[in-house]
Amino acid sequence: MSQSKPAGMFDARILGPAFRGAFKKLDPRVLAKNPVMFVVAVVSVLCTVLFLKDLVTGAEGLGFSFQIILWLWFTLLFANFAEAVAEGRGKAQAASLRQTRTDASAKLLAGTDATQWRDVPGESLKVGDIVLVEAGDIIPSDGEVVEGVASVNEAAITGESAPVIRESGGDRSAVTGGTQVLSDWIKVRISAAAGSTFIDRMIALVEGAERQKTPNEIALNVLLAGLTLIFVMATATIPAFASYAGGHVPVIVLVALFVTLIPTTIGALVSAIGIAGMDRLVRFNVLAMSGRAVEAAGDVDTLLLDKTGTITLGNRQATEFRPVRGVTEQELADAAQLASLADETPEGRSIVVLAKEKYGIRARDMQSLGATFVPFTAQSRMSGVDFDGTAIRKGAVDAVLKHVDLAGAAGVSPKVSTEKKREIQFIADGIAKAGGTPLAVVRNGQLLGVVYLKDIVKGGIRERFAELRQMGIRTVMITGDNPMTAAAIAAEAGVDDFLAEATPENKLDLIRQEQAKGKLVAMCGDGTNDAPALAQADVGVAMNTGTVAAREAGNMVDLDSDPTKLIEIVGIGKQLLMTRGSLTTFSIANDVAKYFAIVPAMFVTLYPGLEALNIMGLTSPQSAILSAIIFNALIIVALIPLALKGVTYRAIGANALLRRNLFIYGLGGLVVPFIGIKLIDVIISAVGLV
Amino acid sequence: MITAILFVLMVVGGTALLSWPLGRYMKWAMDPAAPSAGLAGNKTRAFQLVAGPLARQEQNWKSYVFAMLMFNIVMFTVIYLIQTFQGALPFNPDGMGTVSPDLMFNTAASFTTNTNLQHYSGESTYSYFTQLGGIMWLQFVSAATGIAALTALARGLAGRGLGNFFVDLQRASFLVLLPVALVYATALVLGGLPMTFEGSAIATTLEGVQQTIARGPVAAFVTIKQLGTNGGGFFGPNSTHPLENPTFWTNVIQMTALIIIPMACVWMFARIVGRIKHGFVIFAVMLAFVLIKVSGSVAFETAPTQAFTDLAITQDVGNLEGKELRFGANGGPLWAVLTTATSNGSVGSMHDSLNPMTGLMPMVGMWLNESFGGVGVGMINMFLYIVVAVFVAGMMIGRTPEYLGWRIEAKEVKLSLFALLAHGAMILVGTAIFAATPWGADTLNNIGPHGFSEILYEFTSSAANNGSGFEGLGDNTVPWNIATGLVMLFARFIPIILPLAIVGSLAAKRRASESSGTLSVEGGVFATMLAVTVIVVGALTFFPAATLGPIAEHFMFMN
C-alpha cells in the first residue's frame, strides 16, 4: 500500500474532496462531536441571525459585523477542512483496498476430507466452513490453512509483490481474504464472517469510519471544553461590568473575544491529529486495531525484542574451528565441511564457506562421494553424512556427547574418555560465554572439536538501544539460547536485560512481572504460542506472517513482519501525543496576545486611558478585533501541515523534550500572535477593510 | 530602596527558612512513620477512645469528605447559636446584644470556612464569649480542617489510605496549631499586646473627655488569626489598631505568622508524598509569585496618592494614605500582598487607600489563591494547577500524562478544571450581578473604576476564603451578607472535595513506575510549565475585570 504511491498531503486527489468535506461537516451531528467547534458553530449561527435582523432594521456598522461573521464561519470551515484532509489520505487507501475485495466465489467443501466442492458466493461463507483454494483463486475470506501448501500473493495488503508460502500447521498458517493463491492448492478453514475480515477491518481503520476517541483524546477534549466554559464565564460577565461603567459592548465584539480566547486552534486540529497518527502507522505498514493501542505505544516502558531477526541477523555464521588436542584445525574443518555439504541451513552453508576460505578445502560433491545425508531431527538434534563406512555428525554439544556415549555403550565405536568429553565441554563453554553457539563434530565416535557459530549483531542496533534508554525505555532480549550465550550477546548489543531459554510461559511471566512494577510492555510475536503473551502485553504487535491466533491476540499487525519496527511504533505513539500537547500549549499561549488586542479595544470608549494597553499599536479598535479573529482563523490553516506531519520526535529524554517543546510551542505561541495580529492589522488598515 | 529589599528579605526569606523545620515537624505530627508509637501515639489512642468508633476506622475519600462536612455543619450551627444567644451567655461585660440573622449567617459561614470576612466590628458587636468561645475556636478548627484535608490528599498521592478525618483534625489542632500558637502568642504579649478578660478601659483624655478603650484577650486572638490564615481581627481595624499591632516588631512577627504554616504545608506535602525535590519546585513557583507581587506593590506604592496629582507639592515618600507610620513605609504593601497570598485577610494598612495598581496585587493573589494560599488549602489549590500542567506537559513529552506515577485522564482533568472554574465563576458572576444592580451599586463609597474594584475585591476575597476587605463598601446589607456567605461556603468546600475525589479516582488505577522517559516534576522546566499554567489558566481570566477596575483607574488618575 505504501509502495503504491501514497497520496501526498496536499495532493489534488485529497484537496478536492476535502473542500467539499469542509462544508459537509457543518452538519450539527458531526460538529457536536467536537465541543470547541460546536460552540463556535452555535455563536456563528447566533451572530448571523442577529446580523440578518440588523440588516432588515438597518443598523449601523454592518460592514464590520459582516466581516467578523465571515471569519467566524471561516474558522469553522478551516477546522472541518483540516479533518477532511486528514481523512482524505485514509479514504484514498481504503478505495484501493476495496478494489481487492472482489466478490470472489468460493469452492465450499463438505468437510476436511471431502474432495467434492460446490461453488458458493464468497459472502455466504460462515465461520468454520472449509474451502478449497487452487492456483489462480482469490482466497474468499480470512482463515487458517488446514491442509496443503501454496504460494500466495499478499500484495493487496502488504504491497510486497514477492509471494509468500502458506502451509498447514506451524506459524505460517494464516491466510487473508482478498489475497491470491499463485501455485498449488490449500484447504482453508474460514475464521471470519463476511464483512469482518481483515481487509474489512483495514478499510474501516484507514477510512476512520469507526474512529473512536482514544482515552487521551477524550481527556484533552474535557480540558478544552473546561477552558471553553471558563471563557464563557469570562466573556459573559463583561456586559454587566460595562454597564456599571455606563457603557455597553456590542454582542459581535464579545463573540469575537470569546471565539479567539477559546482554544479553537487545538480544537480545530485535534481530530486531524488523531487521524494522522493512525495514518502514519498505516503508511508504515502497521495496522493498529484501535487508537488506544497507538497511544499505549507511546507509553511503553519495556520492549521485549526477539533476539533472532531483531537484534542479530537471522543467521548464525561459522567463524572458527576449535579442535581438541591431537586433531588439527584442517582435519576438523574437513570433517565439518563434509557434514554440512547437504545442509541447506544458513549455518551449514557458512561452515562450508568458512572451510573453503580459511583452509582452502573445496566443497565436494555428495554424489561423487557416494555419501548419504543424515538430516536433522528433533530427536537426534544432529545432522551429518555417511559414506565409505565413515559417519560424521555435527550438532549441539550435549546431543553429540549423548550420541557418543550411546554408541560407545553399544560397542559400535570405541568409548570416549571422560577427559576428551571434558575438553569438548570446556571449549564449548568458552564459545558460549563469548556469545557463540558451539557445534560439536564427531567422526566415527571420535570427538574432533567444535565449530564456533557466531550470532552477528545487526549494525547500528546498539545505538538504537542507547536511544531507547534515553527515552526511558528498557529493552529486554528474548532468546532460546542458554544464559551464558544470551548474556554475551546482550552485552554486545547493549540491551538492558535478557530472558534466556525463553518459553511461552516464562515470557508471559516476565510480562506480568514488568506490569506489576507499573511498566507498560510491548512485544512482537508470530507463533500460536506467542498468543498469550501478545494478549497480556500492553502493546502486542503480531507479524502478518503469523498464525491467526497471534493476529487475534495482538493489538497491532505488522504487514511487513519486521520485528524491528516495534521501535518505530513507539516513536509514532509518542509523536501523536506530543503533537496534541504542543498544539494545546501553542493554542493556550496565544490567548495572551489576543487579550491585549481585544480587551483595550473593547473598553477604550469607556475609559480612554486604556489606550495605553494597546501595546501592539493597532490602528483602531475595530481593526484590532478584526485582526485578532482573522489571525485566529488563519493559524488553523497554517498549522494543518504540522498537525498531519506531527511534531518531530527526538530521543533526547523527557526533560530535554519538554524544554524544547515548551520553548518552541509555549514561547512561540506567546510571541507569534503578537507579530501576526500586528501584521494583519497593518494589511487590513492599508487595504481599508475597516 | 535597599531598606525595602532588606525588609522583604527579612520577612519573606526569614519565614521561608523557618518553614523548613516546621514542615518537618508537621510531617512528624500529621503523618507519623509509626502512628501508634510514642507520646503522640498514646494521645491518638486516648483520643480514639474518647471519640468512639468514628475516629477509629480508616476512611476512603467519600467517608473522609463526609466526616469533614458533618463536622463543619456542626461548627456552623454552633457558632450561629452562640451569636443568637450571646446576650444570655457569660463573658459579656460590655452587654453586646442581638445581631441580625443575615449577619449571623455571614459570620458563621465566614469563620467556618476559615475566611473571616467581617461585615461588623468585633469590639462593638460581639461579646468576649462569642469572640473566644465561638470565633477563636473556629479559627483553630477551620485551619485544622485545611491541614487535615491536605494530609489526606498527600497520603492518597503516596498510594496509601487517606486516614481518618477526626484523628487528623485533632493532630492538626493539638500538635500543630496549638504549640505554634503558644510560641507566637508569648512573643506578642511580650511585644505589648493586651491579654485580659476585663471590660473596656475608661480613660480621661488630655482634653478632659471620657474615652472608652476596647480591650480584651487580644494576643491569643491575634496569634491564631495570623497563623491559621484566618484574618478576623479582634478590633474592626484589624492589625492597624494600636492595641492589636503596637510596634514595628509585633508587625514583623505577625507578618511571619501569616505565611509560615502555608509555607510549611508545602514541605509537609512533599515529605508525605516522598518527593522533597518536587516540594522545592512548588515552593519556588509560589515564592516567585509572592516576590513578583511584593515587588509590584512596593514599586507602585512609591508614587503618592492620586490626591496629589493636581497639587503644587512634591511628595516623594510614597503613598502614605491609610498607612500606620509606626510600621515604616513598606509595611503596608508587603502585608497586603502576604495577607492575600495566603487567604488570611488580616490587614496592616487600608487596602482601599492603596494606589490602584498596588491594589491590583492583593487581588491577583486571591485570584490565584495558591501562592502559598490558605493553611493546607493553598497547597491543595496548587495541586489543581499541577494536574492541569502535568496533563499538558505530559502530552508534550509523548506519554499519557502521569503525576507521581498516577495517570491523569479525563476524570482527573474534569474535576480539576471544575474546581478552577468554580473559583473564577464565583468571583466574576458575583461581581457582574452586584455591579449591574443596586445591590452593589448602592453600597459603594466611590464611583467609577474604584467602586468597581470594591465590588470585585469583596467577591474575590470571599471566593478566596481570604476575608480582607477593600473597605469603603457598606457591606453589612442583606444581599451582601447572603451572597458572600454562600460564596464562602462553596469556595471552601469545592476545592477540598474535588481534589480528594481526584485522589479517590487515582487510587483505582495501576501506578506506573517513573523513569527518564516519564515527566519529571522536579526541575526548572516543570516549574516554568507550572507557573505559565497558573498565569494563563488562572490569572488571565480576570484580565477584563482588572482592566475595568484598577487598571482603568491607574490610567485615568495616575498619569
Q: Which of A229, A237, A470 should be substituted to probe chain B, the one whose Cβ sees the most B Cβ atoms within 10 Å?
A: A237
Answer yes or no: are the C-beta atoms of A672 and A615 closer than 8 Å.
no
Give yes or no for residue B35 having a pLDDT over 80. no
Q: Which residues are CB-contacts of B88 (< 8 A; sequence separation ≥ 6)? A: none
State how many domains chain B has.
Answer: 1
Give yes or no for residue B463 having a pLDDT over 90. yes
Put simply, the answer to whether B400 touches A573 (Cβ < 8 Å) is: no
pLDDT the model gives residue B428: 95
As a whole number of Å, the end-to-end CA separation of chain A is 51
- Half-sphere exposure for A377 (CA within 13 Å, toward CB): 4
Is A331 known to sit in a ligand binding site?
no
For residue range A341-390, what is the model confidence (pLDDT) as tens digits?
888 777 888 888 888 888 888 877 777 777 888 887 777 788 888 888 88
| Cell of residue B254, nine digits | 505577625
Let me know if residue B509 belongs to a domain: no
Q: Which of A243, A471, A625, A658 should be substituted to probe chain B, the one whose Cβ sees the most B Cβ atoms within 10 Å?
A: A658
CATH number, span A299-311+458-559: 3.40.50.1000
Let me know if residue B114 belongs to a domain: yes
Give yes or no for residue A9 having a pLDDT over 70. no
Put simply, the answer to whether A472 touches B517 (Cβ < 8 Å) is: yes
pLDDT the model gives residue B433: 93
> In the A/B pair of chains, how many CB contacts fall below 8 A?
231
What is the band of A1 on the pLDDT scale with cuts at 50, 70, 90? very low
Report chain A's mean pLDDT, rounded to a whole number: 86
Q: Rounded mean pLDDT of B331-360? A: 86
Give yes or no for residue B451 having a pLDDT over 60. yes
State the nearest Cα–Cα gap between A656 and chain B, in angstroms. 9
d(CA A511, CA A533): 7
Give yes or no for residue A104 having a pLDDT over 80. no
State the nearest Cα–Cα gap between A574 and chain B, in angstroms. 4
Q: Rounded mean pLDDT of A335-343? A: 86
Q: Rounded mean pLDDT of A384-399? A: 87
Domain residue limits at B265:
2-270
Is A98 known to sit in a ligand binding site?
no
Can you say how many angstroms the Cα of residue A40 is from the centroid of all Cα atoms in its chain? Answer: 34
Which residues in chain B have their CB less than 8 angstroms from residue A658's CB? 393, 396-397, 519, 525-526, 529
pLDDT the model gives residue A2: 39
d(CA B388, CA A224): 11
pLDDT the model gives residue A103: 63
**Nearest beta carbon to residue B544 from set A218, A238, A519:** A238
Give yes or no for residue B256 having a pLDDT over 60. yes
As a whole number of Å, the end-to-end CA separation of chain B is 22
**Beta carbons within 10 angstroms of residue A421's beta carbon:** 18
Put simply, the answer to whether B536 touches A592 (Cβ < 8 Å) is: yes
Q: Which residue in this structure is represented by grid cell 565441554? A: A425
Answer yes or no: are the C-beta atoms of B487 and B115 closer than 8 Å.
no
Is A271 known to sit in a ligand binding site?
no
Q: Rounded mean pLDDT of B448-461? A: 90
Give yes or no for residue B268 having a pLDDT over 60. yes
Which residues of A are identified as catalytic?
306
Put simply, the answer to whether B559 touches A609 (Cβ < 8 Å) is: yes
Amino acid (1-letter code) at residue B101: P
pLDDT the model gives residue A310: 76
Q: Which of A244, A261, A585 should be substituted to probe chain B, the one whose Cβ sees the most B Cβ atoms within 10 Å?
A: A244
Report chain B's mean pLDDT, rounded to a whole number: 88
Q: Rounded mean pLDDT of A197-217? A: 75
State the nearest Cα–Cα gap between A600 and chain B, in angstroms. 8
Give yes or no for residue A5 having a pLDDT over 50. no
State the nearest Cα–Cα gap between B19 and chain A, in angstroms. 29
> Residue A258: closest CA among chain B residues belongs to which residue?
B541
- Specify the 3-state DSSP secondary structure of B348: coil
| Cell of residue B392, nine digits | 499538558
Give yes or no for residue A196 having a pLDDT over 90. no
| Highest-pLDDT range among A176-185, B83-92, B327-336, B451-460 | B451-460
Give yes or no for residue A313 having a pLDDT over 80. no
Give yes or no for residue A654 having a pLDDT over 90. no
Is A322 known to sit in a ligand binding site?
no
Domains of chain A, residue spans: 12-93+205-283+570-687, 299-311+458-559, 315-455
Q: What angle do CA A74, A78, A80 make, to 5 degrees?
A: 120
Q: Which residues are CB-contacts of B16 (< 8 A; sequence separation ≥ 6)? A: B263, B283, B287
Answer yes or no: are the C-beta atoms of A608 and A619 closer than 8 Å.
no
Put simply, the answer to whether A227 touches B424 (Cβ < 8 Å) is: no
Put simply, the answer to whether B405 touches A518 (Cβ < 8 Å) is: yes
**Nearest beta carbon to residue B421 from set A229, A235, A653:** A229
d(CA A11, CA B448): 59
| pLDDT cut 70: percent of chain B above it | 98
Give yes or no for residue B481 having a pLDDT over 80. yes
Q: Rounded mean pLDDT of A305-312? A: 79
pLDDT the model gives residue B216: 80
Q: How far is CA B303 from CA A117, B12, B55, B554, in A?
A: 100, 23, 56, 11
Put simply, the answer to whether A229 touches B433 (Cβ < 8 Å) is: no
Which residues in chain B have their CB less than 8 angstroms from residue A299's CB? 399-400, 512
**Nearest beta carbon to residue B436 from set A218, A243, A591:** A243
What is the band of B208 on the pLDDT scale with cuts at 50, 70, 90? confident
What is this structure's pTM?
A: 0.87
Can you say how many angstroms the Cα of residue B325 is from the centroid of all Cα atoms in its chain? Answer: 25
| pLDDT cut 70: percent of chain A above it | 96
d(CA B197, CA B377): 33
State the nearest Cα–Cα gap between A665 and chain B, in angstroms. 10
pLDDT the model gives residue B123: 66
* Burial (0-12, 13-18, 19+ Cβ within 10 Å), B534: buried
Which residues in chain A have their CB less than 8 angstroms from residue B414's CB? 222, 226
For residue range B73-101, what is the model confidence (pLDDT) as tens digits?
999 999 899 888 888 887 777 777 778 88
Considering only CA atoms, which of B342, B178, B171, B344 is closest in space to residue B263?
A: B342
Q: Rounded mean pLDDT of B335-356? A: 86
Let me know if residue B321 belongs to a domain: no
Answer yes or no: are the C-beta atoms of B152 and B500 closer than 8 Å.
yes
The ipTM value here is 0.92
Put simply, the answer to whether B547 touches A600 (Cβ < 8 Å) is: yes
Q: Rounded mean pLDDT of A548-556? A: 82
CATH fold of A315-455, please?
Calcium-transporting ATPase, cytoplasmic domain N (3.40.1110)
Give yes or no for residue B272 having a pLDDT over 80. yes
Answer yes or no: are the C-beta atoms of B285 and B527 closer than 8 Å.
yes
Put simply, the answer to whether A243 touches B516 (Cβ < 8 Å) is: no
> Residue A514: closest CA among chain B residues belongs to which residue?
B513
Q: Which of A270, A655, A671 should be substituted to probe chain B, the one whose Cβ sees the most B Cβ atoms within 10 Å?
A: A655
Answer yes or no: are the C-beta atoms of A194 and A122 closer than 8 Å.
yes
Give yes or no for residue A4 having a pLDDT over 80. no
State the nearest Cα–Cα gap between A638 and chain B, in angstroms. 20
pLDDT the model gives residue A102: 59
pLDDT the model gives residue A210: 59
Let me know if residue B341 belongs to a domain: no
d(CA B543, CA B541): 6
Q: How many helices (H) and strands (E) are present in chain B, helices listed first?
A: 23, 4
Give yes or no for residue A514 having a pLDDT over 50. yes
Q: Rounded mean pLDDT of B316-331? A: 78
The conformation of residue B89, written as its DSSP 8-state character, comes to S
Which residues in chain B have their CB less than 8 angstroms from residue A513's CB? none
pLDDT the model gives residue B344: 85
Let me know if residue B254 belongs to a domain: yes
For residue range B114-158, what is the model confidence (pLDDT) as tens digits?
888 888 776 677 887 887 778 888 888 999 999 999 999 999 999
Which residues in chain A have their CB less than 8 angstroms from residue B512's CB? 299, 301, 518-520
Q: Rounded mean pLDDT of A590-597? A: 93
Answer yes or no: are the C-beta atoms of B343 and B366 closer than 8 Å.
yes
